[in-house]
Amino acid sequence: MTKNTQVFLAQRPIGEPTDECFGLREVDIPELGDNQVLIRVCWLSLDPYMRGRMHDVKSYADPLQIGDVIVGESTGVVLKSTSPDFVEGDAVAAHMGWQSHIVANADDPRLMRVDLNNGSLSAHLGVVGMTGRTAYFGLTEVGKPQPGETLVVAAASGAVGSAVGQIAKIKGLRAVGIAGGPEKCRYVKEELKFDACIDYKAGNLAAELAAACPDGIDIYFENVGGDVTKAVVPLLNPGARVPICGYISNYNDEDLANSETPFHILKTLDPVPEHRFFVVTEWQDRWVEATRQLGSWVQDGRLKYRESVGIGLENAPEYFRGMLKGKNFGKQLIKVADED
């Protein structure tokens, strides 16, 4: 009989999560009750926010407890259904953690039907899924872009950053990226068509950023924090906006409560620029709208994306650590099972 394989939190990490922080177990798949579906997971998304949920500190969401399945979103195919709303073979997305099979109530808000006309099953975890919607709403609703403005986005070759810059170009802005290494910078500038991309590993970030932004910075989309933020803030124009999606440079800090975050850095400025942390669930009632818009931009070639794929649920911790260090190129996914 098929079992459900789960990856769970075995112990809280101090600094970088080690193998001992993750456990692997097999559990029975329960019989379906009324109005439920059984999903075979095909793709798992790995995202930086997962590291924050491993701390025993409440933020915008409750922390994981020891023994909990690691939080995360996946896409897959319905194997069985007792719901009139789903049939065998339906493509779905579910925000129910690192596991090979999911039993979900059909009306659970964490379960969403996937329209493959908008993109592939894997893309619904990236450019037309949660990642793309994060870029879309963070930029348009928090960043409030206006044609002719200059946007800077850190982690510009990553899943969120690459979408932010391309959407900014679609909206008529100058887009400047920050990425790590010449290959990622070349991709951002030549393939994604950003106006410029600065290699923060080259050692000249502040000077090169100032040269790339002669009219200052109107929107800084924050993904990284630390030295990158410190290089950006002197260039912020009056009235600048800073959507804070995350700050990955701090996530492996041993004492996050005492870390210097973008909030601390921004509040040293006079005047303090408009800034706030946001989560994509603020616009959950508009997710379908956003996915359709993102899908149309992908189809007409204005929104490009790249995926980094690891194979096997048991290897997710290794790829998760690599993603936190910037080893991925594009959206980090784990292929859990074939789609057919």
Residues 89 and 276: their CA atoms lie apart, in Å, by 40
What's the confidence (pLDDT) of residue 1?
A: 67
Token pair listed for 58: 């409440």
Q: Which fold does the domain 130-281 belong to in CATH?
A: Rossmann fold (3.40.50)
pTM of structure: 0.90
Residues 6 and 37: their CA atoms lie apart, in Å, by 18
For the CA atoms of 139, 155, 245, 231, what is the dihedral angle to 10 degrees? -90
What's the confidence (pLDDT) of residue 261?
A: 81
Residues 43 and 287: their CA atoms lie apart, in Å, by 20
Q: Which fold does the domain 3-126+306-335 belong to in CATH?
A: Quinone Oxidoreductase; Chain A, domain 1 (3.90.180)
Residues 45 and 75: their CA atoms lie apart, in Å, by 8
Q: For the chain, which residues make up each domain, given as ranges? A: 3-126+306-335, 130-281
Residues 206 and 63: their CA atoms lie apart, in Å, by 36
What's the confidence (pLDDT) of residue 260?
A: 81
Token pair listed for 108: 């659970």
pLDDT 10s per residue in the chain (340 long)?
689 999 999 999 988 899 999 999 999 999 999 999 999 999 999 998 898 889 887 666 788 999 999 999 999 999 999 999 999 999 999 999 999 999 999 999 999 999 999 999 999 999 999 999 999 999 999 999 999 999 999 999 999 999 999 999 999 999 999 999 999 999 999 999 999 999 999 989 999 999 999 999 999 999 888 889 999 999 999 999 999 998 765 655 555 566 788 888 999 898 999 999 999 999 999 999 999 999 999 999 999 999 999 999 999 999 999 998 888 888 999 999 999 8
Angstrom distances, CA of residue 18 to CA of 12, 52, 71, 310, 321: 9, 15, 17, 18, 8
Residues 302 and 135: their CA atoms lie apart, in Å, by 15
Q: Is 172 exposed, middle or buried (0-12, 13-18, 19+ CB in 10 A)?
A: exposed
Q: Identify whether the C-beta of residue 185 lies closer than 8 Å to the C-beta of residue 246.
A: no
Would you say the CATH fold of 130-281 matches that of 3-126+306-335?
Answer: no
State the amino acid at position 181 in one-letter form: G
What's the confidence (pLDDT) of residue 189?
A: 97
Residue 84 burial (CB count, 10 A): 8
